Chains A and B, each alone.
Chain A
Amino acid sequence: MVVLDGEVDMASAPQLEHVLGEQLAAGAQQVMVDLRQVSFMDSTGLTALFRAHEALAAAGSAMVVVCGPGPVRRVLDVSGVGGVVPIYSDPAESAAT
């Protein structure tokens, strides 16, 4: 599980890409990205998530996102990320599906 906090923007998105790349390199079968403590995410964060999702899928792995209600969830919904990457409100919901 990758737990993020703070803000994800063009200054910090490279760190997110790096961390998700480490998960891929480690051979993770499923990566859960927990955004519940993230207060802001822009298009660079979305792009980092998309890229990680594509790379993991190509390796036969999967990514899910955990995100509660709020501005980050709003951005995920408006951008259509939920149509590509499963989004859950909490980790227990993810485990139940």
Chain B
Amino acid sequence: MTRRFALEVPADSDYLTMARLFVGAAAEELGCGGDTADDLRLAVSEAAGALIDGGGPITVALSAEDAGAAVAVRGPGRPVGDAGVGNLVLGLELAGALLGGVTIDESESGTVIGFSAPADAE
């Protein structure tokens, strides 16, 4: 059985702190601690922030994969409004630089921003 943790929050920047707390705890449960957990907190915060303008709810889900965790941040809208494109690019570039890659999947049902994180070395 795949271990999976998910949190749903309103599309409100006041809930980003809650999302980060959740991600830190879930990442630890999935064996991703230390710097990796910090990187995941940043990446999820950037992704959720990018989706806020598109409305809510926003779902953050972490699941175990072969050697770490897969993370998906979902929202019903498109990522960010025109005014925030600069921050979207910077934010997701940061996440990509820290975690080694970010995917953005847009469809009629919304947007999923995904990334993976390695588990701590044994």
Contact with A along B70-113 (1 / 0, CB 8 A): 00000000000000001100110010011000000000000000
Q: Give the distance to chain A from B50, nearest Cβ to Cβ, in Å.
A: 9
- A interface, by DSSP: helix, strand, loop or mixed? helix
A47-B86 contact given A9-B49, A11-B16, CB 8 Å threshold: yes
A43 to B17, CA, bound (A): 15
Residues in chain B near residue A75, CB distance under 8 A = 42, 94
CB nearest neighbor in B for A44: B87
Contact A40 B90, beta carbon cutoff 8 Å: no
Contact B16 A79, beta carbon cutoff 8 Å: no
Q: Give the distance to chain A from B91, nearest Cβ to Cβ, in Å.
A: 4
Chain B residues within CB distance 8 Å of chain A? 13-14, 16-17, 20, 35, 38-39, 41-42, 45-46, 49, 52, 86-87, 90-91, 94, 97-98
Known pairs A9-B49, A75-B94 / 6 extra A-B pairs, C-beta < 8 Å: A7-B17, A40-B41, A40-B45, A44-B91, A78-B97, A79-B90
Chain A residues within CB distance 8 Å of chain B? 7, 9-11, 40, 42-44, 46-47, 71, 74-75, 78-79
